Amino acid sequence: MSSKGGILRGVASFIWGGSAWQGKTKYKGAALYKYLKREHGLTDAHIDDVRTYLKFQYAATQRALANENVKEIVLYRGFYAPPGFSSSKTSMWAGSLSSFSSSKYTASGFGDTLIRTSIPRARILGTYRHGLGDDGEKEHVVMGDSKSLKFKVVSKHD
């Protein structure tokens, strides 16, 4: 896990709430923000710059998706299921920022389990087409919140 990703997740959890993982530790709200300042030497000015960037990115993405009349986006996420995970499970916690793909094929390469979900436009921080996300992965960066994410486990081979 990169420090860059940790910084974005930490500041996002500080701005919009939610939790974020850094290494094997789960932080809630401002806790990751404070950890990053302490352990990585980030200053308030660094954090303010990231906060400004995230707010600008969100506004630009929301404007672009609204102009395209997007209300929600069907996305996929592949992951390695933890022990005891059931394919009948229909919801899970999403971190402060999570990556999804609009390509089922691409997402299936990230683990042994594949989920499909419909994400409301308001939860999309950025997409590969709107300044944040990898083009090759057809990546969409989704903001988590206190609500669980509803999904359906799908076959990787259909």
Q: What are phi and psi of 77, to 5 degrees?
A: -145, 130
Q: Which of 154, 2, 143 is nearest to 73 (CA)?
A: 143
The pLDDT score that the predictor gives to residue 22 is 73
Alpha carbon 22 to its chain's center: 14
Q: Which value, to the nearest 10 degrees, does the dihedral of the CA atoms of residues 125, 130, 134, 140 take?
A: 40
**Average model confidence (pLDDT) across the chain:** 84
pTM, rounded to two decimals: 0.84
pLDDT digits 0-9 by tens, 28-67: 767 777 887 888 788 888 888 988 999 999 999 999 999 9
The parts of the chain modelled with pLDDT lower than 70 are 1-4, 29, 93-94, 145-148, 156-158
Tokens of 110: 């990230």
Domain-by-domain residue ranges, the chain? 3-66, 70-154
The pLDDT score that the predictor gives to residue 107 is 94
